[in-house]
Structure 1
Amino acid sequence: MCGIVGLYLKNDALQPRLGAMLAGMLITMSDRGPDSAGIAIYGTPGAGDKVTLQSDDPAAFAGLAEAMGAALGAGVTVRIVATHAVVTVPDGRAPEAAAWAEARGLRVMGTGAAMEIFKETGSPRAVAERFGLAGMAGTHGIGHTRMATESAVTTLGAHPFSTAADQCLVHNGSLSNHNAMRRRLARKGFRTRTENDTEVAAAYISSRIAGGESLGQALEGTLADLDGFFTFVTGTRTGFGVVRDPIACKPAVMAETGDYVAFASEYRALVDLPGIADARVWEPEPATVYFWER
C-alpha cells in the first residue's frame, strides 16, 4: 500500500510554507501507511555540509558538537529536532562525520548541502508533529507513509532512503530482483543498511548519477534494470523526479501550476494546495519519466 507525497516549488515566495503544505499532504495519506512516516526537506545550501543523525535516546546527542569537532579538528554545530540531530560540518567533511557518528551507535539518515531527512515509526500525524514539519521551509520535499509488508517496522526501514549526498527516494510497490541488484551495487561500493528493496532502488539511482547521468537518465534506467511494480519519487539537490513501472498498478496523480509541481498517491492529498482548482492535473503515464530541476 503506502502513500507518497512530493512538492517542488517554482515560486520562491512559497518556500516558508513548504513544510506546512507537505504536512497536510502527508497526514492525508495516513490510512495508506500508518506504521511509520518520513520526509526529506531541501533548502538553499549554506556554509558547510549537513549530516542528519537519529537516536532512539536523544540524550546520545549531549556533547555531540564538541566531541565531533574535536575528532574532525574543525567547527561543528548541532541542531536537535526530537530524535534527530542535524549536524553542520565544514564542506567536504560529511563522509568523515557520518562514519564517526555510526561508529558511536548513531544512525545516519542522510547527508548533503541542502537535504535534511526526518523519519520515525508511528502515525504520519504524530511524526509530522514530532518534528515540527509544518514550520519547515525549503525549495522542495518528498514524504512517505508506510504500511510495512516485506520488512520490519523500524526507523531505518521507514522512507525516504538516502544513499548519496542530497539524494533520496520514496517508493510504493515491490521489487523482485532487489537482492541481485544489492550484490551488484555492493561491488560498486554502494552500501545498503536494511533489507528494504526501496533502499536498493535509491542506491541504483545514486550509482547512475555518480556515473555522470542526469536525474532523468537515472530514472529511465530503473525501467530497464529494476523488476517489479513501483512508483518512485526522488529528490536531489536541484531536482524532483517521478517514474512508474510499465504496468503502473499503483495509484498516482500530479498537479502543476506556475507556483509548484505536486505529486500524491491520491488526489485528496492535493486538494488544500493553493491554486489547485486551476492546476493542470493528470495521472503520470506508465514507463514515463517526469522531472524538474533548478
Structure 2
Amino acid sequence: MEPINQLIKSYKPTIDRNDRKQSHQDSYQCNDCKDTGYILEGSGLDMFARICNCQKRKNIERKVKSARLSKLLRTCTFDKFDYRFYAKTQIKENQLTYRDLAEKAMEASACFVYNIIENRTSDSLLFVGKTGRGKTYLAGAIANEILEQKPSTQLLFVVVPDLLNEIRSSYGKNTDSSEFEIMDAARSSEVLILDDLGAHNYSDWVKDKLYSIIDYRLQEQLPTVITTNLLDPPAMDLVLGERITSRIFQLCSVYRLMCERDIRLVRSHEDMLNVFAKNENNKD
C-alpha cells in the first residue's frame, strides 16, 4: 500500500488548484461586478456600462460618514415616523391637534427634501418642541432621504454642543482640524442640520460662533434644518440673544412638534413590556 504521505503529496496539486479557484471567487466583495464598480450590459456597439448597486451603496456610506450621521440616526426614515404618538387632541391656543402639527412638520420635511433633490430653492426649517417629541428623528429622516435620493449632496449633521466642543478642542496642539475648517464646513455645507440648539449655557464666545454660522447661511440662502427645545422667541432671546434669534426666524419656517409624553420614554416602556411578555410566554 502506498504510504499516506505520498498519497497526500499526489492529491496536493489538485487541492491547491481548487483552493485557489475558491479563494478567487470568495475574494470578491460583490459577485455582480467583480469589484469593478460597473456592470456591462448589451452587446457589440450597443454595449454600455452602468454603476453597480454595490458602488451606489458605498457612495452613500461615504456620504453618511462625512455627514456625521450616527448609527442611531441612520435608522430614522419618513416611513417609520410614527403618528400614533401624536394624539388628535385639540390644542387650545390654535384649534389644531397634535396630529395636525406632526403632519404639517412631515409635509414640510418632504417638501424640503424634494426641493434639494430637484435643485430648487428651499425654505429652511426650525423644529420646536420639548425633549423627546420627534424633532431629531425628523431631522435624521430628512438627512437619510436626501443622501439616498441624491448622494452627491454635501450634507452635514451636527449636534450643537458637540460642534462647540470640537471648535474648543481645535485650539490644542494635536488636532486634526483648525477652527476655520470646522466653522467653514458648517457655514458653507450645501445642507446643514443643527440639532439640539437648546437650553445650554451660551457664553459670548459661543454666541459669536453660532451667529457666524447662522448669519452666513441666511445671507447665502443655504438650506438649513434646526431643532430646538426653546419653545418661543422670548426663551430663545434669553438664551441665544436677540441677534441669533432674529436671524433664525429670518432663515427658517417654524414647525412645532407636540405630544403628551416623551416618545423615547413611551418606546422604552413598550420595549420593557414586550420583553416581560416574551419571558412570560417562554415560561409557559
- Does the alignment reach a TM-score above 0.5? no
Structure with the bigger RCO (C-alpha within 8 Å, sep 6+) is 1
CA radius of gyration, larger in: 2
TM-score per shorter chain, which class? under 0.3
User: Normalising to structure 2: TM-score of the pair?
Assistant: 0.25
